[in-house]
Structure 1
Amino acid sequence: MTFGFTSPTSLTTATGGASRHGRLLEPDEWTAAGIPLLRSPREVVSGLHSRHGPAPSTAVIAVLDPEERLVASASFVQRSASADGWEYRNALLSRLRRILPHDLRRRTPVRTAVLLYCRDSDERWTEEDGAWMWGLRDACTLHGLRCGAYITLTRGGWQVLGEGRGGRHPGSDSRPERLGGTTGEVTPLTPLTLRTGGGAAEALRRTAAR
């Protein structure tokens, strides 16, 4: 399932400030940045959807190790629709700092951050997506991480922007499925809820021991 990039003209006025300040990335800029490809995007998307059950306006920031295993993740509701990459960068960086020690001492980033954003619209690229891309890239730089994929979750399904890869399930209106080996249903998110995934607690213990 592939998607194209189309920027709706209706967003031009609302996000003009972000465009003037350059705090968004156009699709060609994102593609040229050499964002590493996910080996198993469907597994990543399904896992994050099961853990966080995102509803529209929910962002899920996740950190993966070199083997693409989930290290930590957090979800939150972004109520502002300013499409300003600086604001989104601050929101992402705040969550990263809560769930994971930074890697700024490393010469080369080892872990990769990916962003899943659920929105109640179609799959076409918008300037809001461009602002999230800018925010993700900048937050990764400030936290010592590699900037990874930006994934949208819409009514039509999910897509990895800039790669042409996607699927019809899950979508923005899908019910979260239980993770393998777990029981019980996923608790619905509340605004600014943080959830950690993978080995976040273990990573924090290892850092504290050093």
Structure 2
Amino acid sequence: MTFGFAPSSAASINSSSESASRLGRMLEPSEWAAAGIPLLRSPREVVSGLHSRHRPTPSTAVVAVLDHEERLTASASFARRPIPADGWEFRNALLAHLRRVIPHDLRRRTPVRTAVLLYCRDGDERWTEEDGAWMWGLRDACTLHGLRCGAYITLTRGGWQVLGEGRGGRYPGSGSRPAPLGEVPSELGLLTPRTAGGAAEPLRRTAAR
């Protein structure tokens, strides 16, 4: 004789509740665009600089803090844990790394520094639920660290894309060879017209892997 147990209805409810909670901790592109995220003046230089410093591979996140002139103040990179995409988990990871590389600005009335997130992943440039969870996590981590929430950028084999803005380029991509700092790679000639120009000089480099 074989005895079995039917799945607990309470367990099913808990699972559904957890899924609903995770879905609530993500932002749609329209929500992100409506949040008043400041535009990067020189997204190409920011992306290229972070790519050269941290050499991200798929499932690597790079969080960077920029001053009011869009110069790099601090940055950290880390691998995404193999868990379901959850904005709360991403928020905690981002906040932990921000605390390691730069003091908070919670005593200021208004933020003077901006945090941006570059996430290297597989797939194409289209928004995913994982991107939505990273957006939610970045916004919440910035609030808790006294920073202005800045751009969320994906890095895929096709290039980079500033989500919610429609700006991007073909170089660098997740499979690109990082260029030495200070050099302008020849591949920049392949950039799409959507990218912006300008220069951003790094003030300090702090990387945590």
TM-score over 0.5 for the pair: yes
Pick one of 36, 40, 44 that aligns with 1:34: 36
Residue of structure 2 equivalent to 1:95: 97
Are the aligned partners of 1:72 and 1:200 in contact in 2 as well (CA < 8 Å)? yes
Q: Segments of 4+ in structure 1 off by > 2 A?
A: 15-21, 197-201
Deviation, 1:198, is: 3.5
Q: Deviations over 1:116-174 (max 9, x none)?
A: 00001111100000000000000000000000000000011000000000000000111
Correspondent of 1:23 among 25, 32, 46: 25
Which residue of 1 is the match for residue 108 of structure 2? Answer: 106
Q: What amino acid is aligned across from residue 41 of structure 1 in structure 2?
A: P
TM-score, structure 2 normalization: 0.78
Q: Which residue of 2 aligns with 1:129?
A: 131
Return closer, same or farther for 1:123/1:18 CA change in 2, 3 Å cut-off: farther
Q: 2:204 aligns with which of 182, 199, 202?
A: 199
Alignment of 1:41-120 (within 5 A): 41-120=43-122
Q: Could you say what the CA RMSD is over the residues aligned between the two structures, in angstroms? A: 1.8
Sequence identity of aligned pairs in percent? 79
The alpha-carbon distance between structure 1 residues 49 and 19, as it changes in their structure 2 partners (threshold 3 A), is: farther
1:148 pairs with 129, 147, 150, which one? 150
Work out the number of aligned pairs and report it.
172
Q: Which amino acid aligns with 2:103?
A: P
SS at match of 1:88: helix
In the other structure, the counterpart of 1:161 is 163
Q: TM (normalized to structure 1)?
A: 0.78
Can you give the 5+ residue segments of structure 2 that lack an aligned partner in the other structure? 1-15, 184-201
CA offset at residue 200 of structure 1?
6.0
CA distance in 1, matches of 2:205, 2:143: 20
Task: Report the residue type matching 1:84 in the other structure.
Answer: D
Distance in 2 between the 1:170 and 1:45 partners? Answer: 8
Q: 1:200 to 1:167 in 2, by over 3 A?
A: closer
Structure 1 window deviating more from structure 2 (18-27 vs 47-56): it is 18-27
Unaligned runs of 5+ in 1: 1-14, 182-196, 202-210
User: Contact 1:50–1:179 at 8 Å: present in 2 too?
Assistant: yes
For the structure 1 residues 56 and 128, does the alpha-carbon distance in structure 2 shift closer, same or farther, using more than 3 Å as the test? same
Residue aligned with 1:33, SS? coil
